[in-house]
Chains A and B, each alone.
Chain A
């Protein structure tokens, strides 16, 4: 595993004035892997990419490429190419010339340039667009030109900064599949940035969850989803009910006034923990049969399932079910041991995973967004 590491970030720290943007970040990226940096806006994803590309220099720490320290190598000498957050295509050049740009700098013979550009345009499905001006292209087409332009120079690593952020949902889904195909076909390392957790889970080999300039967890999509390390990760990746619990002993946890069997071990006796139960892992049964009982306080139809909020001893749970349960009805919950995931307490404990303020939380977020703008 160690041998095929292509990029390593070691103890990277960056600050803009008082704003510490990256804190002692460590990350190894394997050759040919699809790795995604996932995190909320402002967590330092773009900054991390810019350090790898060479547009920024870390205040502390080293960037290692194929075993060599490249801190002081300028961007144009790095075998790394970027798809910029807003594409940064050259408006004074047409599609063909945009894709040929890097090849012309390399002084490649005209004939080879032509072959390469045609090849790239066919990879991104833009055959016949050679003469079109950039401004006459749709967002999705510009996106493809940006990909072709970066791929044309045969990068070893491609950095993609929220490449699908500006596209509509349908196009985004198509492009996700296409990007993944291109990555596998060409065998290039992709370092992908997104704040869309679904996109991260469906495309990546490895997901790096970041918050506040700190890596919260690194793992495969399945690991990240099933075994989040803390309340932030559990909440950011999918929906989670996060309840205070106490680990009685290995494989036994107390929460919501009841004792549950679980699959987790290795905690101290009576250690306070965060318990995660995913909304889709809860079975609804009649109140008599339930391990917990509660009153349905709201029901939302989501297409595939209903999303219901259940009040259990003052804590609001979110549960996804395909059966309709009207508001005000009492239901029982049945939770299998493998539906329970135990996390150590962290700085994020108590901040996430309670749906009592579901709608208010949403309002608050939109207020924050407005302030940010």
Chain B
């Protein structure tokens, strides 16, 4: 009997295992393999050594990723809270609005921002019209970060909102009852109770921000190369798969380290859970 059910559960889960092997494990193995080999397939550490040249790019990527993630968090937290306090119908409408930009292609969204930010773009022509000196916006670090925030904000709002929508309002009342003013309610109640949503929101924004390659090219004008751009070039232009793979590998490790640090940090916040 037991053998039979074990067999059945194996059979049922086999498509998923196969899927995982095909699309997760196998690519990883390839990445690792390419990272430590030359174009002709011999073992080498040169790819890794070569990476030090890209250290500034790595640092910039991480820095931009952190800034974009923080801005997303600052916008998403109050937005999610406000949405979660509305009536059910209103909540559905507002969430739809949050998701709406995601229905459009990522490329089109980024191109639209180019049109808006250009020196002769929407904003500047407006400024000129009302007699204010135009502001140079495109091809700045700020524009790149704006692009990241705009594109990845929904990924921050969604998880935070879904935790907040389920938040038991009596928790907030209990906090007020025990003497908590508005700030206490936010700090001691709403933030810790929404922590799961915040953590997954940060992950879902930070990871794509660090590894993005298109936004920086279009809105940064090539002067704010991010690591994603470098990796893309290795595959698309230089055909140096080995260097590309080793860059990816290091990026992956860096992201894992960042996430671990952050989890540790958020773990401190909720340490009382034990």
Chain A interface (Cβ within 8 Å of chain B)? 53, 55, 74-76, 81-82, 84, 86, 88-94, 97, 101-102, 104-106, 131, 133, 149-150, 153
Contact A75–B192 (Cβ < 8 Å): no
Let me know if B100 is at the binding interface, CB within 8 A: no
Once A90-B189, A92-B193, A105-B184 are accepted as A-B contacts, the answer to whether A74 and B273 lie under 8 Å apart by CB is no
Contact A94–B272 (Cβ < 8 Å): yes
Contact B173–A84 (Cβ < 8 Å): yes
Give the docked Cα–Cα distance between A89 and B175 (Å): 10
Give the docked Cα–Cα distance between A101 and B193 (Å): 14
Give the docked Cα–Cα distance between A86 and B169 (Å): 12
Q: List 6 A-B contacts (CB under 8 A).
A: A82-B177, A86-B170, A92-B195, A92-B270, A101-B175, A150-B178
Contact B272–A81 (Cβ < 8 Å): no
Give the docked Cα–Cα distance between A84 and B195 (Å): 24
Query: In chain B between 153 and 188, which residues have their CB closer than 8 angstroms to a CB of chain A?
Result: 168, 170-171, 173-181, 184, 188
Give the docked Cα–Cα distance between A149 and B178 (Å): 8
Chain B interface (Cβ within 8 Å of chain A)? 168, 170-171, 173-181, 184, 188-189, 192-193, 195, 270, 272-274
**Shortest Cβ distance from B194 into A: residue:** A92
Across the A-B interface, the 9 shortest Cβ-Cβ residue pairs: A102-B178, A88-B170, A88-B174, A75-B176, A97-B272, A92-B192, A105-B179, A76-B176, A93-B272
Chain A residues closer than 8 Å to B175, beta-carbon distance: 101
| Residue of B188, B270, B274 touching A101 (CB-CB under 8 A) | B188
Give the docked Cα–Cα distance between A74 and B274 (Å): 33
**Shortest Cβ distance from B269 into A: residue:** A92
Give the docked Cα–Cα distance between A150 and B175 (Å): 11
Give the docked Cα–Cα distance between A225 and B273 (Å): 48
Give the docked Cα–Cα distance between A311 and B273 (Å): 63
Task: Contacts A76-B180, A101-B178 known; list 12 others, CB within 8 Å.
Answer: A75-B173, A81-B178, A84-B173, A86-B170, A88-B168, A90-B171, A92-B272, A92-B273, A94-B274, A105-B180, A131-B274, A133-B273
Chain B residues closer than 8 Å to A104, beta-carbon distance: 188
Chain B residues closer than 8 Å to A150, beta-carbon distance: 177-178
Contact B179–A153 (Cβ < 8 Å): yes
| Residue of B176, B179, B195, B273 touching A93 (CB-CB under 8 A) | B273
| Residue of A81, A89, A106, A133 touching B177 (CB-CB under 8 A) | A81
Chain A residues closer than 8 Å to B270, beta-carbon distance: 92
Chain A residues closer than 8 Å to B171, beta-carbon distance: 88, 90
**Shortest Cβ distance from A81 into B: residue:** B177
Give the docked Cα–Cα distance between A53 and B193 (Å): 23
Give the one of B173, B192, B270 with max A CB within 10 A: B173
Give the docked Cα–Cα distance between A84 and B175 (Å): 12
| Residue of A53, A55, A90, A102 touching B179 (CB-CB under 8 A) | A102
Chain A residues closer than 8 Å to B184, beta-carbon distance: 76, 105
Chain A residues closer than 8 Å to B193, beta-carbon distance: 90-92
| Residue of B174, B188, B272, B274 touching A84 (CB-CB under 8 A) | B174
**Shortest Cβ distance from B174 into A: residue:** A88
Give the docked Cα–Cα distance between A153 and B180 (Å): 12
Chain A residues closer than 8 Å to B173, beta-carbon distance: 55, 75, 82, 84, 88
**Shortest Cβ distance from B187 into A: residue:** A105
Taking the closest CB of chain B, its distance from the CB of A103, in whole angstroms, is 9
Contact A105–B168 (Cβ < 8 Å): no
Give the one of B177, B193, B195 with max A CB within 10 A: B177
Chain A residues closer than 8 Å to B170, beta-carbon distance: 84, 86, 88
**Shortest Cβ distance from A75 into B: residue:** B176
Give the docked Cα–Cα distance between A256 and B175 (Å): 58
| Residue of A55, A105, A131 touching B178 (CB-CB under 8 A) | A105
Contact A90–B174 (Cβ < 8 Å): yes
Give the docked Cα–Cα distance between A89 and B174 (Å): 8
Give the docked Cα–Cα distance between A104 and B189 (Å): 13
Chain A residues closer than 8 Å to B174, beta-carbon distance: 82, 84, 88-90
**Shortest Cβ distance from A84 into B: residue:** B170
Chain A residues closer than 8 Å to B272, beta-carbon distance: 92-94, 97
Give the docked Cα–Cα distance between A55 and B176 (Å): 9
**Shortest Cβ distance from A91 into B: residue:** B193
Chain B residues closer than 8 Å to A105, beta-carbon distance: 178-180, 184, 188
